[in-house]
Amino acid sequence: MRLNTDLALRRACAPIISDDVAIGVGEGWSRIVRDALVSIWDIHPAIRLQQVKAKMGGLVLFADGRHRRISWQAQEVIDAVRRRASDQSLTTCELCGHSGRLIHAGEWRVRCDGCEADQILRQRLASVCVHQVEEACRYYIAASISAGHLSDLERVIMPIGGLSPQEHAWFLDEVHDRLTWWRAGSRIDGVDERLREPFRGLVLTDDGDRQRLALDQRTRRAGEIRAAALAYVRECGRRNVVVDIEVFGNGRWKRDGAAKRQVMVDALRDEIARGVAVVDVWRRFEVPGTIARRLVGARSYGDLYRILMVQDMEPGFRPGDIALWVKAGKMSSEEGMSILGIEDPTDFAALLAAFPAG
Ligand SMILES: [Zn+2]
């Protein structure tokens, strides 16, 4: 993962991930990790992530929830978030974030066709350039500490003679990887471990401003963000699709400048991932369960009810109500299935059977 992505992720999810826990996955999964961490943090702020890594090709998140007196309901919702993140990672290229597939070739990995085609050349470059990569890390760490801030790696590390532009880009990816791992506690030959703490205190030059802007907007416009989240979910309900959130947000904040607009769209995405707006609209019959489930990555209506429970929100209806309405002819089976987000008629028949009429 790139150093700036790693730092942005930590900033968005602090304090649930500490500096000595590596985010040991590729750039392509950064959004999945971020959404999962923000959701977990929201469910229980005392949770601490212990591992973020790829295992058997997929994303694995380990949290220490079981030791922190977290209710089983919250734990269930956290498990659902972790499963969803893992499922998403299995169809997302770990390197570039495009759609990918699980490949088994010596090791398991998820790659798109383009990245898989480059895999061997990329690995060969990494093994040939091991020493140059470490040299670049040593230089970058020393230069950053003496400057008192982090600069874009691309501007600090000059291309090595003989490398094509593509190879130089892969080389920089390696340097980014090693730096993020080192920052979290791994070793690089010839780098003094005592430099780690001061390095952790550094921020990217233009990051301070961006950070202040994001915090300021999220605080001052919190009400606006919540209202936008409700409007977004209703729009999904009205059109019966998962509306592109970027397009929706850009339209809603079209009068803001690009930087502010991006902050607001990111805040909106986080607000949807929290699930509160989604279940609030769902419990009022304004978005079908099928869409609500997709918005929060819920496996079944049970997950939606769990969010309501954890948030201490009253459900507008219960599965038993739906079953009785359908049996009484007040609602069609299709409507009942859509409201609860049940896709399999057999499952719905089982629900109806569980609630005898009268
Ligand atoms: Zn790819």
Question: What is the pLDDT at residue 113?
Answer: 95
Question: What is the pLDDT at residue 210?
Answer: 73
- Cα(2) to centroid(ligand 1), Å: 15
Q: Where are the beta strands (DSSP E) in the chain?
A: 23-24, 49-55, 58-63, 101-105, 107-111
Instruction: Kindly report the average pLDDT of the chain as a whole number.
Output: 91
pLDDT in tens, 216-273: 888 889 999 999 999 999 999 999 999 999 999 999 999 998 888 988 999 999 899 8
Answer whether residue 358 shows pLDDT above 60.
no
Q: What whole-number distance in Å separates Cα of residue 184 and Cα of residue 180?
A: 6
CA distances, 348 to each of 18, 73, 210, 302, 320 (Å): 44, 24, 49, 14, 11
Q: What is the DSSP letter of 204?
A: B
Task: Give the strands of the sheet with 58-63, arranged side by side.
Answer: 23-24, 49-55, 58-63
Peptide bond into 319 cis (omega under 30): no
Q: What whole-number distance in Å separates Cα of residue 234 and Cα of residue 281?
A: 7
Question: What is the pLDDT at residue 19?
Answer: 94
- Cα(219) to centroid(ligand 1), Å: 36
Question: What is the pLDDT at residue 14?
Answer: 78
Q: What whole-number distance in Å separates Cα of residue 17 and Cα of residue 37?
A: 8
Q: How far apart are the first and last CA of the chain?
A: 59
- Cα(162) to centroid(ligand 1), Å: 25
- Cα(174) to centroid(ligand 1), Å: 16
- Cα(100) to centroid(ligand 1), Å: 7
pLDDT in tens, 101-147: 999 988 999 999 999 999 999 999 999 999 999 999 999 999 999 98
Instruction: For residue 204, give both structure tokens.
Output: 């990217």
Report the SS3 class of residue 51. strand
Answer whether residue 355 shows pLDDT above 90.
no
Query: What is the identity of the amino acid at 60?
Result: V
Question: What is the pLDDT at residue 68?
Answer: 64
- Cα(112) to centroid(ligand 1), Å: 4
pLDDT in tens, 43-102: 887 888 999 999 999 999 998 766 667 788 888 888 999 999 999 999 999 999 999 999
The enclosing H or E element of 117 equals helix 113-128
pLDDT in tens, 142-166: 999 998 889 888 888 988 888 898 9
Instruction: For residue 54, give both structure tokens.
Output: 């790829």
Report the SS3 class of residue 6. helix
Q: What is the DSSP letter of 160?
A: P
Q: What whole-number distance in Å separates Cα of residue 43 and Cα of residue 297?
A: 15
Q: What is the mean pLDDT of residues 40-45?
A: 83
- Cα(118) to centroid(ligand 1), Å: 9
Query: Which of the pair, 67 or 212, is modelled with greater confidence?
Result: 212
Answer whether residue 10 shows pLDDT above 60.
yes
Q: What whole-number distance in Å separates Cα of residue 287 and Cα of residue 278?
A: 8
Q: What is the mean pLDDT of residues 318-340?
A: 94
pTM across the whole model:
0.64
Banded model confidence at residue 207, pLDDT cuts 50, 70, 90: low
- Cα(176) to centroid(ligand 1), Å: 17
Q: Where are the beta strands (DSSP E) in 96-175?
A: 101-105, 107-111
